[in-house]
Amino acid sequence: MSTTIARSDRRVSPVFLGLVAIMLVSAWAVWTGSAASTGFAVFLFVVSGWIVSLCLHEYAHARTALHGGDISIGAKGYLTLNPLKYTHALLSIVLPVIFVILGGIGLPGGAVFIERGRIQGRWKHSLISAAGPLTNALFAVALTAPFWLGTMDGVPDPFRYALAFLALLQVTAAILNFLPVPGLDGYGVIEPWLSYKIRRQLEPFAPFGLLAVFGLLWAPSVNEVFFGAVDSLLNGLGVTHLDTYWGQEFFRFWQGEPQIPAGL
């Protein structure tokens, strides 16, 4: 059986390159303050950056599955980083962006279809599931590098806040996706190690796991504990709660430009 992937099946999609271009141009607009609305520029930067991270998240799943034995990945277009190739555009792109707008929560949805029957070995299955949220974790480390390296002096405040808010989304995505809830990647990590009986019992809940987690986060007590843990992790990376708070305030440009108190 041939494992050769056609060049067209792994060529980076113009759609993904366009998203990267939007992210870079909006980042420049936030940095220079050249946009008519700084808040709208922050919104474009965060949303485009978030979608880019979703593409990388799903690419990590697909690439790991390819090396694990699923050679159908290439023909499905998953290696092109094109979000339009994903199985469920609504779950993959639209819902995650809505989650960000409503609650500042980064929660990727299911996207790439992996033919698990082609993959042998429980460790390979676990690694395929873990690859996505691990990508979000690495993205968070990269975004916060200027903070924990102490190189933020002279960086314009709106850009600092936008970077912090995008990092927060990556941290929330990594944590939530590692929850052992059916339908999320964390469950995919442990599923190969469960008995057949337990897997069958939990299988019907998989389509509702994502929404159930998001619904729980609306409970004030759960929300407080969760974001307390997120803030602690970000603090360890040099990002303060004020950084992420003002980042979200700028992101919500439809509420008007935030007035940052003097001395912050």
In angstroms, how far is CA 208 from the centroid of its own chain? Answer: 19
CA-wise closest residue to 39 among 144, 160, 155, 162: 162
Q: From CA 262, how far away is CA 264, in angstroms rounded?
A: 6
CA distances (Å), origin 13, targets 60, 78, 135: 16, 10, 19
Q: From CA 39, how far away is CA 254, in angstroms rounded?
A: 8
Spot the catalytic one: 58, 115, 224, 249.
58
Task: Name the one residue in this structure whose structure tokens are 């989650």.
Answer: 99
Q: From CA 63, how far away is CA 135, in angstroms rounded?
A: 12
Structure letter (DSSP) for residue 203: G
58 carries an active-site annotation: yes
Q: Where are the alpha helices (DSSP H) in the chain?
A: 7-10, 14-32, 38-68, 89, 95-103, 122-148, 157-177, 185-190, 196-202, 209-216, 220-236, 241-251
Phi, psi of 115 (to 5 degrees): -85, 90
Structure tokens at 207: 């389509």
- CB 66, CB 112: distance < 8 Å: no
Q: Which residues are catalytic?
A: 58
